[in-house]
Structure 1
Amino acid sequence: MASFSKAEMKKVFNCFDEDGDGKISAEELKNKMRSIGEELSIEDVSDAVGGVPLGLEEFIELVSVNGDHQDIDDEKELREAFSLFEMEGQGCITVKSLKRMLSKVGTSRDLDECCAMISRFDLDGDGILSFEEFRVMML
């Protein structure tokens, strides 16, 4: 079983830490969850973080299972799934590659719809999905 490395967790943490202060506030967590389609009240988010901003170690604990990093049963399968959507050899999922794959599986979407789908999970706002963002989406 593969687990997230601390470097990978730090990348995700940095996406949540909007103001770059090294802590994730309840408001930052709420904003990021909203960006991926999860509408939570500030009270729910505050309860999840214990009412105090999260540092990297606390963030890792929050997203961990049984005190260990979230495991993915088969890293190879996740990478294979990513490569199906990636299709352009760029190491990321673009709006065009998502549209192509959805068309192949009989779920056609226009470019605007594909852009909206990507933006829900695009943690760093660059308009594409990296493998790390894809992994977070699959959790």
Structure 2
Amino acid sequence: MEKYEQYKRVFSHFDSNGDGKISPEELRQCVASIGGDMSAEEAASAVALMDSDGDEMLCLEDFVKIVEGAEEGEKQSDLKAAFKLYAPEGSACITPESLKRMLSRLGQRSSVHDCKNMIAPFDINGDGVLNFDEFKIMMSC
């Protein structure tokens, strides 16, 4: 099933009165259904923050943006964890040497020269190492 169709199905489940919108009260019910707790004020604030058309309700498009934003945050967190595996402890970048060490731990034999060549296409600022932004680009390829 296409991701958008999945979002629509979940949205429809949360839209308990079937009006095509999620009200603050419906949002509270959704949060409660997954074991959370949200006050009426918190729900109203959350909806007001995410509401794109000013009707104090969430439409499907608002809902999709929220879900995709959460997924993007999760991906960012996963990338940060992966980056830390490759970067030397306390460092803000991946060096050819640290890349070689990690690849060796993963069972792949590479020379420092090979690792420099792996880094080079993504080394936007030309400093010979990968910072987190460059690493994100590399991982998206």
TM-score scaled by length of structure 1: 0.47
**Which structure is richer in relative contact order (CA contacts within 8 A, separation 6 or more)?**
1
TM-score scaled by length of structure 2: 0.46
The structure carrying a bigger helix percent of its residues is: 2
